[in-house]
Amino acid sequence: MQLGRKITGGKYHFFRKKKKFSLRVEERKVKLRETKKKTLRGLGGNRKTILLSSNLVNVINPETKKAKKVKILNVLETPSDRFLARQNVLVKSAIIETELGKARITNRPSQEGSVQAVLLKE
């Protein structure tokens, strides 16, 4: 049957139009490139800075408890989807190669305006 039609051929009439909160949000994939950000308007007029691409990461060394901003060299593996690592997509819990060594991303870069990671022991 056609979409929006009953089995008898009559039309379904929707009781209201789609509201902003019920619309789907376009999926964002943060790529490993030159840093690019975008500001979105949320509900209530709130502002949200999202990341479109990045090549910098704030790495925290667990031994010294110090943070340092370094370059991302490569995405090594992504536990959620191995194809994301091949495309150099930055997601939470992805293991990346930095100038300091291997690190695991601890935040959600597509929701926040930066990439945070913790250095891994080798």
pLDDT of residue 98: 96
Q: What are 71-108's pLDDT values in tens digits? A: 999 999 999 998 999 999 999 999 999 999 999 999 99
Question: Cβ distance 34 to 51 under 8 Å?
Answer: no
Q: What are 25-82's pLDDT values in tens digits? A: 788 899 999 999 999 988 889 999 999 999 999 999 999 999 999 999 999 999 999 8
Closest CA to 105 of 75, 65, 64, 68: 75
Give the Å distances, CA to CA, from 48 to 15, 26, 39, 76, 113: 31, 15, 6, 29, 8
Q: Which domain holds residue 51?
A: 27-119
Judge whether 15 lies within some domain: no
Judge whether 20 lies within some domain: no
Judge whether 10 lies within some domain: no
pLDDT of residue 78: 95
Rounded-to-integer distance, Cα 96 and Cα 94, Å: 6
Judge whether 1 lies within some domain: no
CATH number of the domain that 63 lies in? 3.10.290.70
Burial class (CB in 10 A: 0-12, 13-18, 19+), 102: middle
pLDDT > 70? residue 1: no
Q: How does residue 115 score in pLDDT terms, banded at 50, 70 and 90?
A: very high
Contacts of 121 (CB under 8 A, 6+ apart): none
Rounded to two decimals, what is the model's pTM? 0.80
Judge whether 2 lies within some domain: no
Tell how far CA 15 is from the center of its chain.
Answer: 34
Judge whether 14 lies within some domain: no
Count of domains for the chain: 1
